[in-house]
Structures are given as structure tokens and as C-alpha cells.
Structure 1
């Protein structure tokens, strides 16, 4: 992380608070990906389930609905602000779902199992030690259980990131440094071959890695102009490129907002800005 900040510090600071405040926006944006994840996640009534990087709890709640009152679901995250939102949401649904527990824990080292199924929507790319984390996750999986998760493919394939990013980059005094190999970040597992090898080395078998593409709604409104404004807000405040202008001077921030809005307006139609999201859907046992 920039300035030597740890993942725990990052997700318990201003970023975690901002994501918690915008939970409904993010859940709506990622809904097509969440649906695809659960379409492939083998959950049965009565299962015990772990949700890695559960954030504000959308995927944990969906798992709890699927396994029913006879199962149990654990949502784990390192962000206290996001977990606070998750607990509030779960309290309103407790009568219709499996019992849920939310734990503030690093799944890379914590012992939370065992589980029939383990899932994650974009929560496995941020471990400081991926090899050790996946080995620990494997130890928490019961015999015959499956790990199912989503991770991002390359940045250029993810237009919801690349379109606003490409609009901002020409305005910056100098380009951002490229990420160091095998460091925590959203596109850490864009190359599937090292990921598959990593899982096999951790003791997983039957590893599959399938490409998944969905158009996601980055912003919506009563008009295309309102949708563009909403998408610009998401891109510059919540998306992976938001750090590029988060602490920029007001004039640069204003120019960035104008450039991003112009780029996103070209994708607005029917009161929504839709852009492609490109993921890997990974399974292993």
C-alpha cells in the first residue's frame, strides 16, 4: 500500500468507512457478479460456510439464505466499519436465514473452521502471503468441500476501471508506478496460471478457472446525465482508480471529474452507465 500502510489500516481507515457508507451502491453494481458466483457455488441446506472478505455482508446473507436455518455461515473481514454494517443487515434477517457470525479476522492466518464450503467475492487478492493464506484456507475446508471465488482479470479487460482511469491518467503530473509482482491488490491474480499453481501447491485439487464477463451498472439515474454523474462519483470515490485523485488539488480534481464524466457519458443509455467487468470464477477442492 502507498506510504507503507497495511491492508488492515487501509480497510479500517477512511476507505473502509467510505465503502461502508456506500454499501447499497456497491452491492447494486456488483449484483450480476454476485449472482454468477452463487450460480456456481455448491451450497446445500444445512452446510457450514465461510465467506472470505465478506465486507458489508451481501454475500454472507445470500449464503445464509441458501443453507437455511439448519446451516451456519461465518463472514470474515479485516474491516470493522464494513462489519458493523454487515451485523446491522443480518439482524434484520435472522429469522429467515442460517445463524450468522461475523468475525474481524485475517483468514490468511485465523482458524475459523471447519467448513463444507468457502466462498469469496473479490476477497482473496489482498493477503500479504498468498501461499500461506491458501494453505490455511485449505485446512479449514472439510473433506469433499469446495472453495469458490471471484477475482479480477486484467485491468484493460475491466472497462469499469479502465475507462475512467484512461481519462484521468493524461492529467496527472506523472504516471502512477506499476504494482510490484505478487503484492496485494485487485488485479493480483489477473494471470490465471500462477493462481492455479498456487492453489495446487496449497493442497487443492480439481482446480478450475473460468472466464466470467458481465456488464455492470456503474451509475444510474432518471436521465443519462444523472446516470453519468452517479457513475463519475463511483469511479472517483469507490473504484480502484479513485486513489489517483483522492488527494489531488481542487483544480486537478475538477478537471479529472470533467474528463471522467465525458468518458462515461459515451456509455450512458436508458438512464444507466454500463461497462464490462471481467473476472475469473475459480473453484477448487
Structure 2
């Protein structure tokens, strides 16, 4: 990570706090991907499940609804700000859902119990040692248990990231290196073959990795202009490329906002800016 900070420091610092403040925006963006994830999850009433990198709890809450009151759900994350939001959301849940336990823990090392299902929406790419993490997850699954998760395909295939990024890069005094494989970060598993090998090496016998493409709403508003402005804020404040100008001088920030707004404008239609998201939907048992 930039400045040599750890993942724990990163997600408990300003970035984690900013994501916590914008929980509703992020959950709204990822609705089509969340729906695709849960369409492949083999829940049965009464199941126990572990939500890896649960963040502000949207997927944990949905899992609790799916398994019902006879089950039990554990949501694990390293970010205290995001877990605080997750815990606050449980109070608003209707009856009929499984009890939820939120734990501040690194799933790479923690022993959180034994589960029928482990799931994750974009939470498995940030382990310091992926092989050890997947092996630990395998140990926490009951016999016949299954791991199902989403992770990002290459940056170039994710237009919601690459389009605004392409607008910002020419403005920077120095072009940053592209995301590196096998280092913690959103595009760690852009190539499916090493991911499948890691899962098999961790003890999973049956592994599938399917491409999933969805258009996601990056910004919306009463007009196309308002939607474009909203999409610009999301791209520069919350997206994977936000680090490019996080500490930029005000003049560079202003030029970046203008460039991103210009490049996103053609994608606005009916008060909504939609861009393609490209993922792997992986399952291992």
C-alpha cells in the first residue's frame, strides 16, 4: 500500500471512514452484482454462514434473511468504521432473520467457528497471504461446505474504473504503475488461473470460476448533468482510482473533476450513469 501502511491501517483510517459514510451509495451501486452472488448461493433454512470482508453489512443482512431464524451468520471485517455501520443496521431488521454476529477479525488467521457456507462480495482480494487465507477458510467450512465469492476481473474490463481513470492519468505528474498480481488490492485475481490454483492448493476439490458482467449505476440524479456530477464524485472519492488524487493540490483536483465529468457525460441517460462491471463469480467446495 502507498506509504507502506497495512490493510488494517488503511481500512481503519480515512478510507474506511469515508466508505462508512457512503454505505448507501456503495450498496446501491453493487445491487446487480449482489443479486448475482446470492442467486448462486446454496442456502438452506438453518444454515450457518461466514461473510468475509462484510464491510457495512449489506450481504450479511441478506444472508441472515435467507437462512431464517434457525441459522446463524457471522460477518467478519478488519474495518472498525464499517463494522460500526453494520451493527447499527441490525437493529432495523425485521423478525424472521438469523441472528448476526459481527467480528473485527482478519479471516486469514482467525478461527471464527465452523460454517456451512462462506461468502464474500469483493472481500477476498486483500489478504497478505491468499493461500493461507483460503486454507484457513477451508478449515472453517463443515464437510460439504462451500465458498462462494465475487472478485474483479482486469481493470481494463471494468469500465466503471477504467473510464474515469483514463481521464485522470494524463493530468498526473507521474503515471502510477498498473495493479500488480499477487499483491493485496481490488484486481489481485484479475487472472482466473492463479485463483483456481490457489483454491485447489488450499484443499478445495471442486472449483469453478465464471465470468460475470453487469452494468452498475455509478451516479444518478434529477437530470443527466446531476447524474454525471454524482458519478464523478463516486469515481474520485470511492472508486479504486480515488487514490490517484486523494492528496492532490486543489488545482489538480479541480482539473480531474472537470476531466472525469467530461468523459462520463456521454454515459448519462435518463438521469442515470451506468458503466460495465466485470467480475469472477468463484465457487469452491
Q: TM-score, normalised by structure 1?
A: 0.99
Tell me, what secondary structure is at the counterpart of 1:161? helix
Deviation at 1:184, TM superposition (A): 0.0
The answer to whether structure 1 residue 183 and structure 2 residue 183 are counterparts is yes
Distance in 2 (CA, whole Å) between partners of 1:223 and 1:189 is 37
The answer to whether structure 1 residue 136 and structure 2 residue 136 are counterparts is yes
* 1:197 aligned partner: 197
Deviation at 1:206, TM superposition (A): 1.0
The answer to whether structure 1 residue 65 and structure 2 residue 65 are counterparts is yes
* 1:86 aligned partner: 86
Distance in 2 (CA, whole Å) between partners of 1:179 and 1:276 is 19
* 2:53 aligned partner: 53
Distance in 1 (CA, whole Å) between partners of 2:241 and 2:87 is 29
Tell me, what secondary structure is at the counterpart of 1:150? strand
Q: Is the 8 A contact 2:180 2:188 kept in 1?
A: no
The answer to whether structure 1 residue 280 and structure 2 residue 268 are counterparts is no
Deviation at 1:92, TM superposition (A): 1.4
Post-superposition CA distance 1:114-149 (Å, at most 9, x none): 000000000000000001000000000011111000
Distance in 2 (CA, whole Å) between partners of 1:106 and 1:37 is 22
Within a 5 Å distance, the mapping from 1:1-285 to structure 2 comes to 1-93=1-93, 95-285=95-285
Distance in 1 (CA, whole Å) between partners of 2:217 and 2:198 is 32
Distance in 2 (CA, whole Å) between partners of 1:178 and 1:219 is 26
Post-superposition CA distance 1:159-209 (Å, at most 9, x none): 000000000000001101233431100000000000000000000011000
Deviation at 1:94, TM superposition (A): 5.8
Distance in 1 (CA, whole Å) between partners of 2:70 and 2:59 is 18
Gaps of 5+ in 1: none
Deviation at 1:276, TM superposition (A): 0.2
Distance in 2 (CA, whole Å) between partners of 1:88 and 1:205 is 38
Q: TM-score, normalised by structure 2?
A: 0.99
Q: Is the 8 A contact 2:163 2:264 kept in 1?
A: yes
Deviation at 1:95, TM superposition (A): 2.4
* CA shift in 2, pair 1:101/1:94, >3 Å: farther
* CA shift in 2, pair 1:32/1:166, >3 Å: same
Distance in 2 (CA, whole Å) between partners of 1:269 and 1:102 is 39
